[in-house]
Amino acid sequence: MKIIFPVAGVGTRFLPATKEVPKEILPVIDKPLIQYAVEEAVASGLADFIFITAPGKEALERHFVPNRELDAFLERHSKTQLLDGLQDFYRKNFSYIRQEQALGFGHAIALAEKAVGDEAFAISLPDDLILSEQPAMAQLIAVYEKYRSPVIAFMKVPPEDAPRYGIAAGPFLEERVFRIEQLVEKPALADAPSNYAVIGRYIMTPDIFPLLKSGKQGAGAEIQLTDAVVELMKQRQVLGYFFEGRRFDAGTTLGYIETLVHVALQREDTRDFTRRLLRGLALDEKL
């Protein structure tokens, strides 16, 4: 199974930092966000990586190729561990497809049709960092293998947050799996069918491509994957899955701060310092 990473977005929420630096390589402590997403895919058994990029994303592409001078420098100084396993990616299959116009998430996925072929494929949005014992994508793959139906990751959100997400509803087939019968992209609060929110992990099948290529524009005057999934639901069963783990919205400034703090509290080399820092800030706040 191949996996698509749609990483063509401009990253306006993080300007001016993202004027020259792709948002996907902004660091979470010392590891770029995109590397977390790729590591999750590797841990899920995936080995073919397709990036939908855009002009100006060259730094992201270079992250996963060898830097001979840096590698030699680190080897001379016995510091090869500083690349944190990055060298393991050098032997994997990475490919890059340019999205020349910002025509939407669905359009980006449609560009990968030839690269994907006629098999089911995964989609991962790096902005959604999911930390879990079993990789989130591996959980979705297991559901797909059981039902042989497209699968979308979900989590419950506060009802007032529904307009920020794709929202779905439908009957449960088992504890964490439900059949999607309603799906709306960023509904008005009064129109949300539930508080089941789409999170950036998908297993899709090739029959989605003709629906994406129909060119229908949806929310934001862009081609939306959600609209194509709604059409696909008329032809076959599409499932929602409530993954096990904790998701961080690293694509927003406040979510990015939360991600940094949480990861710092999890790492042995930063945990104690971060705890002391937070306690000190809490005391200052009381003054």
Are the C-beta atoms of 52 and 99 separated by less than 8 Å?
Answer: yes
Note every long-range contact of 174-180, with CB atoms under 8 Å and residues 24 or more positions apart, other chains counting.
176/241, 176/242, 176/243, 176/244, 177/143, 177/147, 177/239, 177/240, 177/241, 177/242, 178/239, 178/240, 179/237, 179/238, 179/239, 179/240, 180/152, 180/229, 180/233, 180/238, 180/239, 180/240
**Which residue segments constitute the domains of the chain, with CATH numbers given?**
2-251 (3.90.550.10)
Query: pLDDT tens across 48-92, in order?
Result: 999 999 988 889 988 888 888 888 888 888 877 777 667 777 777
Give yes or no for a contact between 56 and 11, defined as CB atoms under 8 angstroms apart: no
Q: Provide the pLDDT for residue 17.
A: 87
- What does the pLDDT profile of the chain (287 residues) look like in tens digits? 999 999 998 888 888 988 888 999 999 998 999 999 999 999 999 989 999 999 888 899 888 888 888 888 888 888 777 776 677 777 778 999 999 888 889 999 999 999 999 999 999 999 999 999 999 999 999 999 999 999 999 999 999 999 999 999 999 999 999 999 999 999 999 899 999 999 999 999 999 999 998 766 555 557 889 999 999 999 999 999 999 999 999 999 999 999 999 999 999 999 999 999 999 888 776 64
Which residues lie closer than 8 Å to 23 by C-beta, 6 or more apart? 9, 11, 13, 14, 17, 33, 127, 251
pLDDT at residue 129, as a whole number? 96
Residue type for position 211: L
pTM across the whole model: 0.91
CB 242 within 8 A of CB 176: yes
pLDDT in the model for residue 103:
85
- pLDDT reported for residue 287: 46
